[in-house]
Amino acid sequence: MPTGDDQETLLLSVDFEDWHQLVRRRVGVSDWERPGPALGRQTEAMLRLLDELGVRATFFILGMTARAHPHLVEGLSRRGHEIGCHGDRHVPVHKQTPEEFAADLRAARATIEDLTGQRPVGYRAPAFSITRESRWAFEVLAAEGFEYDASQHDSPRIRRRVVPSRDAPHPLELTDGTLWEFPVAVWRRGPRARVPVGGASYWGVLPTSLVLEGLRASGPMAGLYLHPHELDPEPLDALLPSSASPSQRVHGVVRSAQRNVARRRAPDVLRAIAGRHRLIPYGDAHAELSGGAATRS
Ligand SMILES: [Zn+2]
């Protein structure tokens, strides 16, 4: 991997979830929670690419996906990647009470600890869903023993989003406890214009040169995020059961088509980014900035 003083560091993460579980639940088919058929090959492609680039990432693990694919989660941990938490059921934070949110965190963490022997200290909310009305979530995270959050994303597509007070990593002001915030990379092109260059879902619609220019402008230690389905070597197909209704089928086709655009381009865009930036897991950055011990063994 190239190194050098002019290479700004970026933080690499994967929201580790089973696309088929989520799309089947969204479409409303029964038995949506059973393991999807593609996460194994997606994970293999992801790990191969990270090895090729010589980088480690933070995998924010979804509890219900970990229970469906325990061997995959064990493998991520064995390969030396940082294990973080993406909650348990992928329910938007703003749709939960503080008590439900705490219970969701505990359920995910119990599953993850059981499989990996590691206690995750970093959290990424499903769909960046800590809104201005659910800022209490940061207090809950600190109270539950989390040390950093990576959920603030100033993307115009996120309604009622919390705009980070700074683009660089920073400790949040809490009534009790400490929690670091690591915002996702966003390119600010004017007082109002924001280009969310940190997410692989956007890499499908932006020229690579613009993604690189935007990341250069996003500041040091900005966050990148991918999903396993964005590295799927095969086209995505919702594979709905034969009992699915016509409207469920249409919904499945639309979800597949949207995701396939990003999927085709993500590996090469990540290679281009890795050619210009040092990519590290969030936990390494947190350890460096907070002066704490490294969060991986
Ligand atoms: Zn997610």
Which residues place a Cβ less than 5 A from the ion ligand 1?
Answer: 15, 17, 126
4: CA distance to ligand 1 center in Å?
A: 33
| 157 alpha carbon – ligand 1 mean position (Å) | 15
Ligand 1: distance of its center to the CA of 264 in Å?
Answer: 19
pTM of this prediction exceeds 0.75 = yes
Contact 226, 270 (CB under 8 A): yes
Q: How far is the CA of 25 from the centre of ligand 1 (A)?
A: 13
CA of 5 to the centre of ligand 1 (A): 33
CA 126 / ligand 1 centre spacing (Å): 4
Tell me the CA–centroid distance for residue 246 and ligand 1, in Å: 26
- Kindly provide the b/e burial profile for residues 6-43, where b requires at least 16 CB atoms within 10 angstroms of the residue's own CB: eeeebbbbbbbbbbbbbbbeebebeebeebbebbbebb
One digit per residue, the tens of pLDDT, for the chain of length 297 reads 444 445 699 999 999 999 999 999 998 888 899 999 999 999 999 999 999 999 999 999 999 999 999 999 999 999 999 999 999 999 999 999 999 999 999 999 999 999 999 999 999 999 999 999 999 999 999 999 999 999 999 999 999 999 999 999 999 999 999 999 999 999 999 888 999 999 998 998 899 999 999 999 997 899 999 999 999 999 888 888 888 888 888 888 888 887 777 788 999 999 999 999 999 999 999 999 998 544 443
Ligand 1 centroid – CA 200 distance (Å): 13
Measured at the alpha carbon of residue 265, what is the angle toward residues 262 and 269, in degrees to the nearest 5? 115
Measured in angstroms, how far is the CA atom of residue 51 from the centroid of ligand 1? 23
- Cα 127 to ligand 1 centre (Å): 5
pLDDT for the residue numbered 2: 44
Ligand 1 centroid to residue 143 C-alpha, Å:
23
Distance 287 CA to ligand 1 centre (A): 24
CA 132–ligand 1 middle distance (angstroms):
19
Question: Could you tell me which residues come within 8 angstroms of residue 122 by beta carbon, excluding any fewer than 6 positions away?
Answer: 58, 60, 82, 84, 85, 146, 147, 148, 149, 150, 282, 283, 286, 295
Output the CA 3–ligand 1 centroid distance in Å: 31
- Cα of 2 from ligand 1 centre, angstroms: 30
3-state secondary structure of 102: helix
- Count of all residues that appear for the chain in the document: 297
Separation of 125 CA from ligand 1 center, angstroms? 7
In terms of Cα–Cα distance, which of 145, 142, 144, 181 is closest to 163?
Answer: 181
